[in-house]
Amino acid sequence: MTGQTHRILIGSCGWQHEGWQDSYYPADLPSEWRLGYYSNEFPLAVVTERERAQAEDLPGEMADCREDLWVLVSVTNDAGLESAVDLLQQLPRQGGVLLQVDPAACRDPDAWLAQIAPRLNGQPLCVDPVRLLNEAWRDALRARSIGWSWNSHSDADGLALGPLAVIRVDGDCSARQLRDYLEAGLAVSRPTRDVALVIDGQPPDVETLRQAKQIEELL
């Protein structure tokens, strides 16, 4: 991976989870210190719209975090793309964009991707489908070397494309499933590709995150 010591970047979808207060975060920990606390344990910070809305100075909070913290900005539609790229450009660390797309809402993926590309300003992109991609979308993404996430709506075929590969795990996950995800990520890991495993949930399960780290260290 580019400039990283982690073979797989493991983290949760966001860190401002009230459900973690008293269970993961100390009871008296201020919300603006949560990222620093979280980043002491996990190498990937996924910035959702919740984190961007709650933070008064997100770049400032990240400046106090571990030097190798990798930042993935999750965007639910392309209207938020500029602000995501602007945030990444303010950070003195590596990162990328995870952009949610609905393939059924766009019949011309080539034109859409052509419009998206210049707005990224060189930041790595991974598409996060909300339903299975059709062949037109797959062909358009392959032509531009852009990968798509492996999630509950998608498949693993996009992991080998582009500079950023993302595996997004929703809800409960067994140790066997975690191992399968991690092995798939390691299989496509390259010096020019960052691979992220994101644990989602309401809130994400901290023990699943820790288990994923342990399994990755053993592989």
Task: Give the helix, strand, coil percentages of the chain, each rounded to 5.
Answer: 40, 20, 35
The pLDDT value recorded for residue 207 is: 95
pLDDT of 1 higher than 50: no
The pLDDT value recorded for residue 93 is: 86
Question: Could you tell me if 62 and 35 are in contact, meaning their C-beta atoms sit under 8 angstroms apart?
Answer: yes
The model's pTM is 0.94
d(CA 169, CA 70): 18
Q: What is the average pLDDT across 133-137? A: 96
The pLDDT value recorded for residue 5 is: 56
The amino acid that residue 201 corresponds to is G
Radius of gyration (C-alpha) of the chain in whole angstroms:
17
pLDDT in tens, 94-123: 999 999 999 999 989 999 999 999 999 999
Look over the chain and give the mean of its residue pLDDT values, rounded to a whole number.
93
pLDDT in tens, 194-206: 999 999 999 999 9
pLDDT of 40 higher than 70: yes
- Higher pLDDT: 141 or 52? It is 141
Give the other-Cβ count within 10 Å of 121's Cβ.
12
d(CA 15, CA 22): 14
d(CA 74, CA 77): 9
pLDDT band at residue 153 using 50, 70 and 90 as cut-offs: very high
Of 214, 167, 180, nearest in space to 46 by CA: 167
Domains of the chain as residue ranges with CATH: 9-218 (3.20.20.410)
The pLDDT value recorded for residue 3 is: 41
